[in-house]
Amino acid sequence: MLELSYLREHKDEAIKRLSKRKLQAQTAVEDILRLDEQRRSNQAELDAVLAESNSLSKEIGQLFKEGKAQEANTLKDKTASLKEKSKELQQEQEQIRHALENLLVTLPNTPHELVKEGADAHDNEEIKVVGQKPGLAEGAKPHWELADQYGLIDFELGVKITGAGFPVYKGKGARLQRALINFFLEQNIEAGYEEYQPPHFVNEASGFGTGQLPDKEGQMYHMEKDNLYAIPTAEVPITNLFRDVIIDHEDLPIRCTAYTPCFRREAGSYGKDVRGLNRLHQFDKVEVVTVSKPEASYGILEEMVAHVGGLLEKLGLHYRILRLCGGDMGFTSAMTYDFEVWSAAQERWLEVSSVSNFETYQSNRLKLRYRGEDRKTQLCHTLNGSALALPRVLAALLENNQSAEGIRIPDVLIPYTGFEIIA
């Protein structure tokens, strides 16, 4: 949620930035500011009425104490009209607040200055390309065929016991997946992130805190009986660790990492996009989350991007980094870098990580603040990224490293897998 004070003080800038998303926000922003104005004047009026009513009550109490019941009762009559007035104003206040809130949650985050204006993925900027496309022999296979050939993943079994999009990993496939999780976690810990194991289900308040609710309700699996949501990413439980928290400035930045399965309903996808591991309802991901001071957040974003890039390099994967344009960024993000690895047999880029700075958009909802040196509280910035999402990394590893002898395991993973080749 955008900060009201920001809209108030930088109205034109906000509208201009939102236009990078191809969003015409003028009307909404003006409506918000008008409601904000109304709200404040209404509250001033309400405060005055309550102040008078409070002082009358005190007087009445005093009079009763002194045994002047007669005078007290006269004053009592006076409070009746005040009471009515305050009730009226309070109702009005609530209405205005609701209207304001409803409008405010429709506005996405304001893109950072560096973010290019654009409608969709076509306008994303390629920032960096690392490595080269591996030269594969004739007849190279896509990962789902390799997975079948070497008995690594059984998609049919997953359909049988659950449904499409829930693969069963087995044998060296399962071990490779586990090795990747451990490798990523260890690398993240080494880079200063503290490991967490959060719950895989969250309550409504948490879904709201990170912005999945109310707008993306359909994306999450919901357990109606207990009103819990299966997490679509570790971002949700981890960021919510800091909901309603005031952090001392000396403890910032806070860096967390967590491995969790992720659950996404992903309604409406089809075709080659959902083939094999390309898009799943359940997948594994190691996430990194940082809470920082506002002035430090963009430096930290660069650090996180460098760290994620380092992971892909260690795995020897050919990848590129995109800075998303306004229209392709997530609702809550101010700047996002996507990482895509080259899938050699499919001959396409696959997104394996998305690293974002949310500035105060999440912390405003979360009420996540820090106490500065001056003892004042202000909103933190939150950032997160995948480090990394497993299935597509696995897909690229299988495809890019295939040869007549089998699938070669990258050196850095061998200590974790315990084998060098899948043959």
Partner RNA sequence: GGAGAGAUGGCAGAGUGGUCGAAUGCGGUGGUCUUGAAAACCAUUGACCUUCACGGGUCCGGGGGUUCGAAUCCCUCUCUCUCCGCCA
Burial label for 5, CB within 10 Å (0-12, 13-18, 19+), is: exposed
Residue 310 CB, shortest distance to RNA, in Å, is 37
**Beta carbons within 8 Å of 421's beta carbon, 6+ residues apart:** 405, 406, 407, 408, 409
**What is the C-alpha to C-alpha distance for residues 394 and 415, in angstroms, rounded to an integer?**
17
Query: Helix, strand, or coil here: 177?
Result: helix
**What is the C-alpha to C-alpha distance for residues 210 and 362, in angstroms, rounded to an integer?**
6
Interface mask (CB under 7 A) for RNA, residues 367-396, using x and -? --x-x---x-x-------------------
Tokens in use for 311? 């992971």
56 forms part of the interface with RNA (CB under 7 A): yes
Q: Identify which of residues 48 and 157 has a Cβ nearer to RNA in the complex.
A: 48
318 forms part of the interface with RNA (CB under 7 A): no
Residue 363 CB, shortest distance to RNA, in Å, is 12
Interface with RNA (CB under 7 A), residue from 60, 256, 262, 329: 60
The DSSP 8-state label assigned to residue 106 in this structure reads T
57 forms part of the interface with RNA (CB under 7 A): yes
Interface with RNA (CB under 7 A), residue from 24, 27, 30, 40: 40
Residues contacting RNA: total by CB under 7 A: 27
48 forms part of the interface with RNA (CB under 7 A): yes
Interface with RNA (CB under 7 A), residue from 13, 30, 31, 61: 61
Tokens in use for 288? 């990194």
Per CB under 7 A, contacts with RNA among 3-22 are: 4
198 forms part of the interface with RNA (CB under 7 A): no
Per CB under 7 A, contacts with RNA among 235-254 are: 246
- Kindly list the distances between the CA atom of residue 80 and the CA atoms of 76, 86, 252, 388, in Å, as whole numbers in the listed order: 7, 10, 51, 63
Interface with RNA (CB under 7 A), residue from 1, 28, 46, 414: 46
**What is the C-alpha to C-alpha distance for residues 94 and 157, in angstroms, rounded to an integer?**
53
162 forms part of the interface with RNA (CB under 7 A): no
Per CB under 7 A, contacts with RNA among 62-81 are: 64, 76, 79-80
Burial label for 313, CB within 10 Å (0-12, 13-18, 19+), is: middle
Catalog residues that contact RNA under the rule CB under 7 A: 4, 40, 43-44, 46-48, 50-51, 53-58, 60-61, 64, 76, 79-80, 83, 246, 369, 371, 375, 377
